[in-house]
Amino acid sequence: MTGTFTWNLLADIRDMWAYDAMVNAFRAGTIVAVLAALVGWFMVLRRQSFAGHTLALVGFPGAAGAVWLGLSVTLGYFTFCLAAALVIAALRTGGRRGYSEESAVIGTVQAFALATGMLFVSLYKGFLNGTTELLFGAFTGITADQVTVLAGVAVVVLAVLAVIGRPLLFASVDTDVARAHGVPSRVLDTVFLLLLGAAAAEASQITGALLVFALLVLPPATAQLVTARPGRSLAVSVGLAVLVVWVALFVGYYSPYPIGFWVTTTAFGAYALTSVLTGRTRSIPRRAAA
Partner 1 sequence: MSTAPRQSAATRVTGARVPDEPTARPALVEIVDATVVLGGRTVWSGVGATIAPGEFVAILGPNGVGKSTLLKAVLGLVPLARGTVRLLGRPPGQANHDVGYLPQRRSFDASLRIRGLDVVRLGLDGDRWGLPLPGPRSRAAAARVRELVDLVGAGGYAHRPIGQLSGGEQQRLLIAQALARRPRLLMLDEPLDSLDLPNQAGVAALISQICRTEGVAVMIVAHDVNPILSYLDRVIYLGQGGAVSGTPGEVITAATLTRLYGTPIEVLSTSDGRLVVVGQPEAPALHTDRHPEHA
Binding residues for partner 1 (CB under 8 A):
45, 47, 162-167, 169-170, 173-174, 176-183, 224-225, 227-230, 233, 288-290
**CA-based nearest residue to 218, from 193, 255, 192, 247:** 247
CB half-sphere exposure, 160, CA atoms < 13 A: 17
Least gap, CB of 230 to partner 1 (angstroms):
6
Residue 86 or 173: the one with the smaller Cβ distance to partner 1 is 173
Residue 151 or 169: the one with the smaller Cβ distance to partner 1 is 169
Least gap, CB of 213 to partner 1 (angstroms):
18
CB atoms within 10 A of CB 116: 17
**CA-based nearest residue to 77, from 217, 206, 212, 201:** 201
Residue 97 or 166: the one with the smaller Cβ distance to partner 1 is 166
Phi, psi (degrees; rounded to nearest 5) at 8: -85, 95
Least gap, CB of 164 to partner 1 (angstroms):
7
Least gap, CB of 117 to partner 1 (angstroms):
32
Q: 154 vs 71, 99, 157, 219, CA distance in Å?
A: 22, 29, 5, 18
Least gap, CB of 136 to partner 1 (angstroms):
30
Residue 126 or 182: the one with the smaller Cβ distance to partner 1 is 182
Residue 69 or 173: the one with the smaller Cβ distance to partner 1 is 173
91 contact partners, CB below 8 Å, separation of at least 6:
102, 105, 106, 109
